[in-house]
Amino acid sequence: MTVMPNWLDKRAYLTPHKEAIVLNDGSKYTFKQLQHDAKSYAAYLKRQGFNKGDHIALLSSNCYEFAVVIHAFHYIGAVAFLLNTRLTAPELLFQLKDGKVKGLIYHSKYKEVANTLSEQAHLQLITMSAPREEEITDYETEIDLDEVSHILYTSGTTGNPKGVQLTYGNHYWNASSSALNLGLHQDDRWLLSLPMFHVGGLSILYRSVIYGMPVHLHEKFDVEAIHRDIMERGVTIVSVVTLMLEQLMDRLGQEQYPNTFRCMLLGGGPAPKTLVEQCQNRKVPVFQTYGMTETASQFCTLDEDHMLAKIGSSGKPLFPGQLKVVENEDECPANTVGEIVVKGPNVTRGYWKREQANREDFQNGWFKTGDLGYLDDDGFLYVVDRRKDLIISGGENVYPAEIESVLKGHNDIQDAGVVGIQDDRWGEVPITFIVKKDQSLMEEDVINYATQQLAKYKVPKQVYFIDELPRNASRKLQRHKLLEFIKGEK
Amino acid sequence: MTVMPNWLDKRAYLTPHKEAIVLNDGSKYTFKQLQHDAKSYAAYLKRQGFNKGDHIALLSSNCYEFAVVIHAFHYIGAVAFLLNTRLTAPELLFQLKDGKVKGLIYHSKYKEVANTLSEQAHLQLITMSAPREEEITDYETEIDLDEVSHILYTSGTTGNPKGVQLTYGNHYWNASSSALNLGLHQDDRWLLSLPMFHVGGLSILYRSVIYGMPVHLHEKFDVEAIHRDIMERGVTIVSVVTLMLEQLMDRLGQEQYPNTFRCMLLGGGPAPKTLVEQCQNRKVPVFQTYGMTETASQFCTLDEDHMLAKIGSSGKPLFPGQLKVVENEDECPANTVGEIVVKGPNVTRGYWKREQANREDFQNGWFKTGDLGYLDDDGFLYVVDRRKDLIISGGENVYPAEIESVLKGHNDIQDAGVVGIQDDRWGEVPITFIVKKDQSLMEEDVINYATQQLAKYKVPKQVYFIDELPRNASRKLQRHKLLEFIKGEK
């Protein structure tokens, strides 16, 4: 058991007047202010009847209050369920029920869906803009690294979404390992425009409080605002996905970032070679990463020195982490593709209430990612296939199995297969192949149905009707064969 | 249980060709070379019959091979006893026997004393300059942070020296906490001239392997060589005690260090105000620290921003650490002196085989340092009395109780009291007050006797004969009253 003081308390004690959060409109909050607001909100949660160990969900896009709520959770010792605002009510309901969530904090923008959810899942509703006066007095002064702080849902290759349990320790190890890898400068400022309900955005919040570093918090990716923050507001590190980086490079044009800008941390799939070269030409230091919810964000990072020499690689695992490429439990030789398995103090201890998945995916401390890749002669990782069939669309993970499962719920659909195709704007988008039960079924029926059930980025962009899906002897869908049906078309 | 890959293996994988160690003569060793040498030495230790869990002592001053041996210990999983080379044979014997040490690795400079120790404690002798050919193949590939890696002896306020058990975790947390506090730059180079057998020197070795940072390793403090390393060899951080800093400032004269020099980490007691001002005038950034063997080196650090505003303070505890000032278990209000107690993942789990001391000194994870101090209104720590009566002489800790216990072993001495007095060169030196049993006892008899039994820095510099020592009702020696006997003299 490793115990340390509450992080925000400690940070507000060490550097009370340092900026914690800077918003797009220029407003700033110090760690002392953030502490006050979080302790006041924690007092409010306590008055609402919430206590240590309670499961509470948060439905909000990025904003200052999001950070306040996250730290308030720590003061009362609640477990946070951060909801993806792009999901539909049925998708959210599944998580809330599966996670035995007791209360739902919502941003006023999401009042309508919050009401629906509250009714259907019998949740206590809590507004984010609660009255904040007195600070909490009786609270968790210490943090036990072994305790679960978050349950974040992720879809998998099979069945329903699973709740990834992340501990305080997972976050701490991620933050400290990242500092050992990227270094840590007195003047660092990290720009956060990724959704905070995903681990990639959330982890920046923890780096802020653990390092004592300002976060430039953006509600969403706005290329103008982010360009300005780098050029004029002293931002030194930005976390991006490929789509964002492309827009930033277009906006940069022939200009150059200030010398103090030192890291473009690139996640969510490999970047095209031309983009990396473009960055190199403009002296923009790109650090390609590999990580997932189960590793509390980045697990591997390719450093600037190898940005071009090892193009397409995600680098090496950060200091406390171990990574192997295996085939049938044996380690593969260099340059041979196998499944990527990882181990380390920032890896989740397992999924919430998913005993079978935990038995299958975790062995002797090693977590089987399901991703395929290889290590080259120098030990650099190349990911060749993210979680078999995973589609990454605009930085969001889309799992074919989840969409198929929803489509098969339609009365007139007998079978459904989903794959990703290349897309200029989103990187990839899902398309679907349908076997009809009722011949009157039309493309728009499928789209409409999917739109009701699934987040917009998961809705298939094209629908193909076929007679039978390609399945192997054991009836497993062979998704790679689906694409052959449309090859002739293109 | 937190597990990570062997540190040197991981580092040699991440940055094989980066400099690990730079010596005074300019020779350099990469992490890959250090790994090879350590693995070869580990193979040699294994051939000598040593295995996981064995207690092995090392008697050496600073040198490259010291680092090799330290890492070799980790490969075989041995527990290291690092011996202070300034101690006498009887002092060393005590540690070796108390620690159930099985083997002694010695530098050729200490061959004679090693032979004596080996005979008297039945130790297997191992030379540092062993043949190094093949690397070890069957070794500890992982490090469990909860395992003890070192037992380092420290004298206390009462009785015999005690072995402080330090785990891998204590070292890791110290290294990562220090990086969070001081930052971490790509071009950092840390100069190590403190003895590596003390935790202050040893901890720099761990920072090197964990950060991937070159250490400039000096056998001893040589003001010319250290000045040169800062001015010409790109050293950015130097660990010093007051005596060293004074000499460095004298040598600096009207020159200035390069802008890249960013930290003079000052341990071993508070610095005189004039010295800190001198540093400020010459733009030398001084970071005053407070720490001890039991906290695996620095626990608190005063940052550069408060160097003058909070002169005399040791700052605030590093991120994962907690500190309180207590009187009878109650927390003292601000500006009130009490005992300093600390808690955190870099604090020792306890002393080796000292159940009573462990019961007394450790409570609910808090360690009672025995030092007295107070926190000011802003929470900055001021240490007013290091471990009641502790004398700090040239950076070495000298405990009156230990010297008294030795002196009382003399046939002609009935009672003895020891206190420290100010000394221009060493900061403080011990002096003694003796109650004779036999009136023929002379000052030189006392000095000669002490010289045989005690390290030179512990030998009293003056001897006063008095009729009776001042003791309170419970017969406890009142050392502060001893100084009154000689007040008239000065």
Strand partners of residue A162:
A154
Tell me the range of A145-149, A328-332, B397-401 where mean pLDDT is highest: A145-149
For residue B60 the two structure tokens come to 């050496």
In a shared domain, residues B370 and B442: no
Crossing angle of helices B64-76 and B199-211, rounded to 10°: 70
| H helix or E strand, kind and range, residue B55 | strand B55-59
In a shared domain, residues B371 and B434: no
* Domain end call among A317, A344, A375: A375
pTM: 0.88
In a shared domain, residues B364 and B437: no
List chain B residues with CB under 8 Å of A319. Answer: 4, 10-11, 14, 210
Taking the Cβ of residue B334 and every Cβ of chain A, the question of whether any pair is shorter than 8 Å is answered with no
pLDDT tens per residue across span B273-304: 888 889 989 999 999 999 999 999 999 999 87
Query: If contacts are CB pairs under 8 Å, which of residues 132-151 in chain A contact chain B?
Result: 142
Distance CA(B202)–CA(B200), nearest Å, equals 6
Distance CA(B39)–CA(B45), nearest Å, equals 10
Average pLDDT over residues B30-58: 97
pLDDT tens per residue across span B392-423: 888 888 888 788 888 988 999 988 999 999 88
pLDDT tens per residue across span B127-161: 998 777 799 999 999 999 999 999 999 876 566 78
The distance from CA A292 to its chain's CA centroid, rounded to whole angstroms, is 7
Distance CA(B150)–CA(B57), nearest Å, equals 10
Crossing angle of helices A168-182 and A199-211, rounded to 10°: 70
Distance CA(B55)–CA(A312), nearest Å, equals 47
- Please report, as a single letter, which amino acid is at residue B312: G
* Domain end call among A375, A408, A426: A375
Confidence of residue A160 (pLDDT cuts 50, 70, 90): confident
In a shared domain, residues B180 and B223: yes
pLDDT tens per residue across span B70-84: 999 999 999 999 999
pLDDT of residue B484: 82
Question: Which among B394, B392, B418 is positioned nearest to B405, based on CA atoms?
Answer: B418
Decide: B94 and B164 in contact? Cβ < 8 Å. Answer: no
Least confident of A208-212, A274-278, B168-172, B211-215: A274-278
Percent of chain A past pLDDT 70, that is, above it, reads 97
Distance CA(A184)–CA(A178), nearest Å, equals 9
Distance CA(A300)–CA(A267), nearest Å, equals 10
pLDDT of residue A490: 42
Distance CA(A212)–CA(A234), nearest Å, equals 16
By CB neighbour count within 10 A (0-12 exposed, 13-18 middle, 19+ buried), where does A240 fall? buried
In a shared domain, residues B342 and B482: no
Comparing alpha-carbon positions, the chain A residue that sits nearest to B377 is A13
* Domain end call among B348, B375, B402: B375
In a shared domain, residues A42 and A119: yes
- In three-state secondary structure terms, B4 is strand
- In three-state secondary structure terms, A52 is coil
Name residues whose C-beta falls within 8 Å of residue B386's C-beta, 6 or more positions apart in sequence.
Answer: B269, B371, B392
Taking the Cβ of residue A176 and every Cβ of chain B, the question of whether any pair is shorter than 8 Å is answered with yes
- Please report, as a single letter, which amino acid is at residue B165: Q
Tell me the range of B41-45, B328-332, B416-420 where mean pLDDT is highest: B41-45
In a shared domain, residues B468 and B357: no
A319 and B14 within 8 Å at the Cβ level: the answer is: yes
The mean pLDDT of chain B is: 92
Average pLDDT over residues B164-178: 97
In a domain, A381, yes or no: no
In a shared domain, residues A153 and A63: yes
For residue B382 the two structure tokens come to 């001021």
Decide: A266 and A240 in contact? Cβ < 8 Å. Answer: yes
User: Checking DSSP bridges between strand A396-398 and strand A413-423, what pairing results, if any?
Assistant: unpaired
Question: Which among B263, B213, B148, B149 is positioned nearest to A319, based on CA atoms?
Answer: B213
pLDDT tens per residue across span A357-373: 999 999 988 999 988 89
CB-CB: which of B179, B316, B365 is closest to A184?
B179
Distance CA(B75)–CA(B39), nearest Å, equals 7
CATH of the domain at B456: 3.30.300.30
In a domain, B383, yes or no: no
Question: Which among A421, A414, A416 is positioned nearest to A454, based on CA atoms?
Answer: A416
In a shared domain, residues A356 and A409: no
Name residues whose C-beta falls within 8 Å of residue B185's C-beta, 6 or more positions apart in sequence.
Answer: A183, A185, B236, B262
In a domain, A384, yes or no: no
A-B interface: how many C-beta pairs under 8 angstroms? Answer: 70
In a domain, A385, yes or no: no
Strand partners of residue B325:
B340
pLDDT tens per residue across span A448-466: 999 998 999 999 999 999 9
Taking the Cβ of residue A53 and every Cβ of chain B, the question of whether any pair is shorter than 8 Å is answered with no
Percent of chain B past pLDDT 70, that is, above it, reads 97
For residue B305 the two structure tokens come to 């921003």
Interface test with B, best of A9, A14, A210 (most B CBs within 10 A): A14
Check residue B269 and report its DSSP letter: S
Strand partners of residue B240:
B266
Strands (E), A35-171: 55-59, 79-83, 103-106, 124-127, 142-144, 148-154, 162-167
B319 and A3 within 8 Å at the Cβ level: the answer is: no
Check residue A184 and report its DSSP letter: B
Taking the Cβ of residue B187 and every Cβ of chain A, the question of whether any pair is shorter than 8 Å is answered with no
CB-CB: which of B4, B180, B320 is closest to A320?
B4
Higher model confidence: residue B244 or residue A477? B244
Name residues whose C-beta falls within 8 Å of residue A296's C-beta, 6 or more positions apart in sequence.
Answer: A166, A170, A171, A173, A174, A199, A203, A346, A347, A348
In a shared domain, residues B231 and B200: yes
List chain A residues with CB under 8 Å of B178. Answer: none
CB-CB: which of A10, A316, A321 is closest to B319?
A10
In a domain, A383, yes or no: no
Comparing alpha-carbon positions, the chain A residue that sits nearest to B175 is A180
Question: Which among A168, A163, A164, A176 is positioned nearest to A149, based on CA atoms?
Answer: A168
B13 and A379 within 8 Å at the Cβ level: the answer is: yes
List chain A residues with CB under 8 Å of B13. Answer: 316, 379
Domain that holds residue A455: 391-489
Distance CA(B311)–CA(B303), nearest Å, equals 11
Question: Which among A382, A273, A295 is positioned nearest to A332, based on CA atoms?
Answer: A382
Taking the Cβ of residue A309 and every Cβ of chain B, the question of whether any pair is shorter than 8 Å is answered with no
Average pLDDT over residues A376-383: 95
Name residues whose C-beta falls within 8 Å of residue A274's C-beta, 6 or more positions apart in sequence.
Answer: none
CB-CB: which of B3, B211, B316 is closest to A180?
B211
A4 and B321 within 8 Å at the Cβ level: the answer is: yes
In the predicted structure, residue A302 carries a pLDDT above the cut 70: yes
For residue A146 the two structure tokens come to 């072994």
Distance CA(B372)–CA(B339), nearest Å, equals 5
Dihedral over Cα of B228, B231, B235, B237: its sign: positive
For residue B378 the two structure tokens come to 């802003």
The distance from CA A329 to its chain's CA centroid, rounded to whole angstroms, is 28
In a domain, A30, yes or no: yes
Query: If contacts are CB pairs under 8 Å, which of residues 344-383 in chain A contact chain B?
Result: 344-345, 365, 379
- In three-state secondary structure terms, B188 is coil
Distance CA(B67)–CA(B37), nearest Å, equals 10
In the predicted structure, residue A269 carries a pLDDT above the cut 80: no
Comparing alpha-carbon positions, the chain B residue that sits nearest to A366 is B3
Distance CA(A197)–CA(A79), nearest Å, equals 14
Decide: B411 and B438 in contact? Cβ < 8 Å. Answer: yes
Burial annotation B101-119 (CB, 10 A radius, 16+ → b, else e): bbbbbbbeebeebbeebbe
Strand partners of residue A459:
none
Average pLDDT over residues A215-232: 97
Average pLDDT over residues B38-46: 97
In a domain, A426, yes or no: yes
DSSP letters along B413-429, please? EEEEEEEEEEETTTEEE
B184 and A186 within 8 Å at the Cβ level: the answer is: no
A321 and B379 within 8 Å at the Cβ level: the answer is: no
Distance CA(A19)–CA(B355), nearest Å, equals 46
Interface test with A, best of B3, B14, B213 (most A CBs within 10 A): B14
Name residues whose C-beta falls within 8 Å of residue B228's C-beta, 6 or more positions apart in sequence.
Answer: none
In the predicted structure, residue B470 carries a pLDDT above the cut 90: no
- Please report, as a single letter, which amino acid is at residue A60: S
Distance CA(A10)–CA(A14), nearest Å, equals 6
pLDDT tens per residue across span A15-53: 999 999 999 999 999 999 999 999 999 999 999 999 999
Distance CA(A68)–CA(A21), nearest Å, equals 11
CA distance to partner chain B, nearest, from residue A175 (Å): 10
CATH of the domain at B32: 3.40.50.12780
Taking the Cβ of residue A283 and every Cβ of chain B, the question of whether any pair is shorter than 8 Å is answered with no
In a shared domain, residues A47 and A172: yes
In a domain, B170, yes or no: yes
Distance CA(A152)–CA(A170), nearest Å, equals 13
For residue A167 the two structure tokens come to 């501990």
Name residues whose C-beta falls within 8 Å of residue A439's C-beta, 6 or more positions apart in sequence.
Answer: none
- In three-state secondary structure terms, A95 is helix
Tell me the helix, strand and coil percentages in chain B, rounded to 5: 35, 30, 40
Taking the Cβ of residue B2 and every Cβ of chain A, the question of whether any pair is shorter than 8 Å is answered with yes
Least confident of A307-316, B157-166, B323-332: B157-166
Least confident of A140-154, A201-215, B267-281: B267-281
Question: Which among B306, B291, B389 is positioned nearest to B340, based on CA atoms?
Answer: B291
Question: Which among B438, B424, B434 is positioned nearest to B463, based on CA atoms?
Answer: B434
pLDDT of residue A372: 87
In a shared domain, residues B77 and B162: yes
pLDDT tens per residue across span B259-279: 999 999 998 777 778 888 899
pLDDT of residue B490: 42
Taking the Cβ of residue B13 and every Cβ of chain A, the question of whether any pair is shorter than 8 Å is answered with yes
Number of folded domains that form chain B: 2
Average pLDDT over residues B114-128: 95
